[in-house]
Copies of this chain bind each other. A is one copy, B any other.
Amino acid sequence: MPRTKGDHEARRQDVSAAVWQVMATRGFAGLTLRAVAAELGATTGLLTHYFPTKRALVAYALDLLEQRTLSRPRRSAGRGPATLRDALLDILPLTPEATDSNRVWVSSWDAALSDPALSTDYARKYAEGRERLRARVVAAQERGELAPGDPAQVAAAAQSFALGLVVQALFDPVTFTPQRQVELLDDYLAALAAGAG
């Protein structure tokens, strides 16, 4: 019986899910054709149809990471009064899904830092992230919710704070429970609101 387009698409989604699962548990260091095949319950041979080389698998994994990041639910994707707090909460590993996603991001830094093209691409992504935060800082300053100060500097600091908190929470989820992460963020924002930006 010939395979239908639906079969093909279903299999593609299975492959994506298996790649994601391997990355979330073993990181990029553990991302091999063999591990994905085992996760999928398939042969390594079948996987080579999708990924002829390790490099192709890594490129696919990075694309998958970007797609999942772009399509994840956000607190303030709409038009309303998007706040700095919502944008920073969206970064943190407060749910199992956000934890997996952050785990994969942090894991990808090793590969990204040693590949000049990828490193440039990551720098651009983080710059775009800071620009989005900056717009929210400006809006908050206009509403009088944040003290005056260079909004680009505030955005860069806030992004640093959130990224570092991600790393701490991944290594020590018992200490950095979702509740504690939110408390730390709220203290941080309170300090920004109070004064020296």
Contact string, A85-109, partner B, CB cutoff 8 A, digits 1/0?
Answer: 0000000000000000001001111
Q: Are B109 and A109 in contact (CB under 8 A)?
A: yes
Is residue A119 within 8 Å, beta carbon to beta carbon, of the partner chain? yes
A139 beta carbon closer than 8 Å to chain B: no
Beta-carbon nearest neighbor of A22 in chain B: B114
* Residue A57 interfacial (CB < 8 Å): no
A172 at the binding interface (Cβ < 8 Å): yes
Q: Which of B25, B113, B193 is in CB contact (< 8 Å) with A171?
A: B113
Given the contacts A160-B164, A195-B195, A196-B194, A187 and B110 also touching, CB distance less than 8 Å: no
How many angstroms between the C-alpha atoms of A195 and B188 in the bound complex? 11
CB distance from A92 to the nearest CB of B (A): 10
* A14 in the interface (beta carbon within 8 A): no
Query: Which residues in B have their C-beta under 8 angstroms from that of A126?
Result: 168, 171-172
Known: A127-B175, A159-B168, A164-B162. A25 touches B114 (CB 8 A): yes
Q: Does A10 have its Cβ within 8 Å of any Cβ on chain B?
A: no
State A108–B167 Cα separation when bound (angstroms). 12
Provide the residues of chain B in CB contact with A166, threshold 8 Å: 164
